[in-house]
Amino acid sequence: MLKVEHIGIAVKDFTTSIPLFETLLNTNCYKQEAVESEKVITAFLQQGESKIELLQSTDAEGVIAKFIEKKGEGIHHIAFETEDIYAEMERLKNAGFTLLNEKPKQGADNKLVCFLHPKNTNGVLVELCMERK
Ligand code: ZN
């Protein structure tokens, strides 16, 4: 693992949350991107070498809508950048972690991503990511 690439935060409404985080971090949101497979729109703010990824559901049945319904708005996942996501997935699988997808999938921000089941990570949803080349 190279670093914390970003922290994902589930929010109800970009129209209030983006300005809130822009003021908080004193920087502008530089990108919004839909991830249709996840029924979510993402908004990114850079902070040093890490990012904040705001997640807003596009569908009442989407994972983010369900998360907010259950737990309220807040931290949804922590994403770690990997040099080689395939090798890291193999290593973690062999170490007993449960991968939520068997192959890396297309995430936002030009990334390949894989999530780990929070049951093996003290309740933290962990995302592995790697820049697509
Ligand atoms: Zn993420």
Q: What is the pLDDT of residues 9-34, one digit of tens each?
A: 999 999 999 999 999 999 999 999 99
Q: What is the whole-number distance in angstroms between the Cα of residue 78 and the centre of ligand 1? A: 7
Angle at 110 between CA 64 and CA 24, to 5 degrees: 55
Cβ neighbours around 99 below 10 Å, total:
17
Q: What is the pLDDT of residues 113-122, one digit of tens each?
A: 999 999 999 9
Find out whether 107 and 31 touch, Cβ atoms under 8 Å. no
Q: What is the whole-number distance in angstroms between the Cα of residue 52 and the centre of ligand 1? A: 9
Is 90 exceeded by the pLDDT of residue 37?
Answer: no
CA-to-CA distance for 87 and 83, rounded, in angstroms?
9
Strands (E) in 70-110, as ranges, are 74-81, 105-106
Q: What is the pLDDT of residues 48-105, one digit of tens each?
A: 999 999 999 999 999 999 999 999 999 999 999 999 999 999 999 999 999 999 999 9
Is 90 exceeded by the pLDDT of residue 1?
Answer: no
Q: What is the whole-number distance in angstroms between the Cα of residue 37 and the centre of ligand 1? A: 14
CA-to-CA distance for 129 and 116, rounded, in angstroms?
11
Residues surrounding ion ligand 1 at CB below 5 Å: 8, 53, 79, 127
